[in-house]
Copies of this chain bind each other. A is one copy, B any other.
């Protein structure tokens, strides 16, 4: 080839940049950097920089007790808003609390206890202004379904309570530890798609179980599977009571219509907020007037007046049920935390204030630990009540305190009124709450956007439905992790070409204006090169090379001379380094040049340390694909120029 002619091509006049090896760091430095990035990505200490000792103490106290930060600026205007929203959420919290306690298999009054102490504790520790604390459906149902096995072994209600409080304590310990040890990222492993499937499945099961109440059945399966539940309904069809069914369905329709109105016209949020309490009041009056209990419709029954009794002595850290308590606490605690974090982030983002995930986990964890000593079960920030709280115009956590005061008054003075509330109303409230967890549009979107996410969602859904609620969660997490491994095991590898008129190289299959470079095969890897895929990457590249050689041979184009690997997307480990060396050798055996373009900092450092850089030679590592082509072209021309022959 004529050297003169070739130098006039635009590529070869280009300056070639040296790929710099990042400044040498010791292995321990890298480890330290990694640990800091891992545990303190938010650089949470930056507030403390350049401050006096006194200010640091103040800031530290404010960090632990956010109430010290906003409390001093509190005024009457804020209070007005908080009182309105506090009363609004209390009207929702009372019927929901009773229902969710029933869902967890606990005495209804625990639902009220749990709406009293935890909101007060959280108001001091929490940084979210909108979060309404109390029992939530998903954690209650998990608790109920997991503790159900106790009722099979032992009918003793005080044992059930003991295990429930102990589980609540462990949930709190786990939540606080995750926050304290800055391991909050573990929650991210429960991906949204799997949660959609999981919650949908749980909602279906819970709704089916509420048919016990709606149909007024006396006997019902203790199991959570879809098959035993349907069996129970069919087998006990002689127990069906039309009175219960009519009453239940009427109130269910009322609640659903109220919910629909509020979701259609957000300004009417109070319609759905007031509906549950309205239903309870109406049905209770109805129940008293018509003496429904004489028609076989069950009512809540006697509830003891008074505030939360201490339950410290019921925490039991030994005995045969400790394992069950730990497991139940762990799973319901994680799910409660997931909901709480989502609630906190959503409203912090909507109103644009800071929300520190790890700190919030500690707040919720301590709240639950305190709750377990005062006759409460697992609580967290509830999505539905927080939304109402926000819509009702809450300003600070004082709305939680107001709610707690309203609940306290209820506990002290109007408990006997609930005596005649029919159970069927609680079933209707539970169904309305959980039906909102079934998110079909989200599942459809997953199907359209990301098939793997859709499969994960479905697996979690059917795992809950067909196996069990805790197993469904295990399946959901397993699939989420498996998805990552699959992506890392089979990364995308693309063939790239030149974008006409530029020095850019892009995937041939993505851009139409991209053309291949004769004698070159440019390969881009859209993933790190790890031990899980190093073999695949190697074999897949060799297959591209083989196919390209066949194609070039068939079409009689100029033969393949050089493979450029665009590393821009890659991290690498030692197996990946070995694969690159192996590839270089194998391509060398075919008399093909193999060069790397754009290795990132960490990759360059590892290439350097592993001596792979030496075996490649710095002249085979380029900053860009275009420089790689220019650089190798010059070499080929020199090799084939008459002077060298």
Which positions in A face B, CB cutoff 8 Å? 15, 17, 20, 22, 27, 30-31, 34, 37-38, 41-43, 185, 188-189, 191-193, 349, 352, 357, 445-454, 480-481, 483-490, 492, 494, 499, 501-504, 506-507, 509-513, 526-528, 530-536, 539-540, 543, 568-571, 573-575, 577-578, 582, 585-586, 589, 598, 600-602, 604, 606, 609-610, 623-624
- Given A352-B589, A499-B623, check contact A191 B453 (CB 8 Å): no
What are 8 of the A-B contact pairs (CB < 8 Å)? A15-B502, A189-B531, A448-B609, A449-B574, A449-B606, A480-B531, A504-B624, A511-B623
Question: Across the interface, do B623 and A504 meet the contact criterion of CB distance under 8 Å?
Answer: yes
Question: Across the interface, do A574 and B450 meet the contact criterion of CB distance under 8 Å?
Answer: yes
CA distance A448 to B450 in the complex (A): 39
Question: Across the interface, do B453 and A574 meet the contact criterion of CB distance under 8 Å?
Answer: yes
CA distance A574 to B480 in the complex (A): 12
Question: Across the interface, do A484 and B188 meet the contact criterion of CB distance under 8 Å?
Answer: no
Question: Across the interface, do B610 and A453 meet the contact criterion of CB distance under 8 Å?
Answer: no
Question: Across the interface, do A536 and B41 meet the contact criterion of CB distance under 8 Å?
Answer: yes
- Given A490-B41, A569-B568, A574-B193, check contact A601 B510 (CB 8 Å): yes
The 9 lowest CB-CB distance pairs between A and B, nearest first, are: A191-B531, A569-B569, A510-B601, A449-B610, A449-B609, A453-B574, A188-B532, A27-B451, A450-B574
Contact partners of A487 in chain B: CB under 8 A: 528, 530, 571
Question: Across the interface, do B42 and A188 meet the contact criterion of CB distance under 8 Å?
Answer: no
Within 8 Å by CB of A507, from B15, B512, B534, B601, lies B601
Question: Across the interface, do B449 and A526 meet the contact criterion of CB distance under 8 Å?
Answer: no
A638 to chain B, nearest CB (A): 24
CA distance A450 to B572 in the complex (A): 9
Q: How many copies does the complex hold?
A: 2
A352 to chain B, nearest CB (A): 6
Within 8 Å by CB of A600, from B15, B448, B507, lies B507
Contact partners of A30 in chain B: CB under 8 A: 451
A355 to chain B, nearest CB (A): 10
CA distance A609 to B589 in the complex (A): 45
Residue of B nearest to A607 (CB): B449
A39 to chain B, nearest CB (A): 9
Contact partners of A540 in chain B: CB under 8 A: 41
Contact partners of A506 in chain B: CB under 8 A: 598, 623
Question: Across the interface, do A448 and B27 meet the contact criterion of CB distance under 8 Å?
Answer: yes
CA distance A507 to B23 in the complex (A): 13
Residue of B nearest to A23 (CB): B509
CA distance A501 to B623 in the complex (A): 13
- Given A41-B539, A191-B531, A526-B569, check contact A600 B510 (CB 8 Å): yes
Question: Across the interface, do B532 and A192 meet the contact criterion of CB distance under 8 Å?
Answer: no
Residue of B nearest to A610 (CB): B449
Contact partners of A34 in chain B: CB under 8 A: 451, 490
A184 to chain B, nearest CB (A): 9
Question: Across the interface, do B494 and A531 meet the contact criterion of CB distance under 8 Å?
Answer: no
The residue in A37, A452, A513, A532 that gathers the most chain B C-beta atoms within 10 A of its C-beta is A532
CA distance A448 to B24 in the complex (A): 11
Question: Across the interface, do B530 and A484 meet the contact criterion of CB distance under 8 Å?
Answer: yes
Residue of B nearest to A602 (CB): B492
CA distance A193 to B531 in the complex (A): 9
CA distance A533 to B504 in the complex (A): 29
Question: Across the interface, do A20 and B512 meet the contact criterion of CB distance under 8 Å?
Answer: yes
- Given A17-B513, A543-B42, A604-B510, check contact A188 B489 (CB 8 Å): yes
Residue of B nearest to A480 (CB): B531
Within 8 Å by CB of A535, from B188, B446, B484, lies B188
Question: Across the interface, do A349 and B586 meet the contact criterion of CB distance under 8 Å?
Answer: yes
Within 8 Å by CB of A577, from B37, B449, B489, B571, lies B449
CA distance A464 to B42 in the complex (A): 37
CA distance A582 to B342 in the complex (A): 13
Residue of B nearest to A566 (CB): B568
A514 to chain B, nearest CB (A): 9
A347 to chain B, nearest CB (A): 13
Question: Across the interface, do A484 and B485 meet the contact criterion of CB distance under 8 Å?
Answer: yes
Question: Across the interface, do A532 and B185 meet the contact criterion of CB distance under 8 Å?
Answer: yes
CA distance A352 to B488 in the complex (A): 28
Contact partners of A446 in chain B: CB under 8 A: 574
CA distance A265 to B244 in the complex (A): 92
CA distance A12 to B547 in the complex (A): 41
Contact partners of A573 in chain B: CB under 8 A: 191, 193, 450, 452-453, 483
A204 to chain B, nearest CB (A): 22
Residue of B nearest to A536 (CB): B41
CA distance A467 to B71 in the complex (A): 54
A553 to chain B, nearest CB (A): 15
Contact partners of A507 in chain B: CB under 8 A: 600-601
CA distance A489 to B453 in the complex (A): 17
Contact partners of A598 in chain B: CB under 8 A: 506
Residue of B nearest to A453 (CB): B574
Question: Across the interface, do A531 and B600 meet the contact criterion of CB distance under 8 Å?
Answer: no
Contact partners of A569 in chain B: CB under 8 A: 526, 568-570
Question: Across the interface, do B191 and A575 meet the contact criterion of CB distance under 8 Å?
Answer: yes
CA distance A43 to B488 in the complex (A): 20
Contact partners of A499 in chain B: CB under 8 A: 17, 623
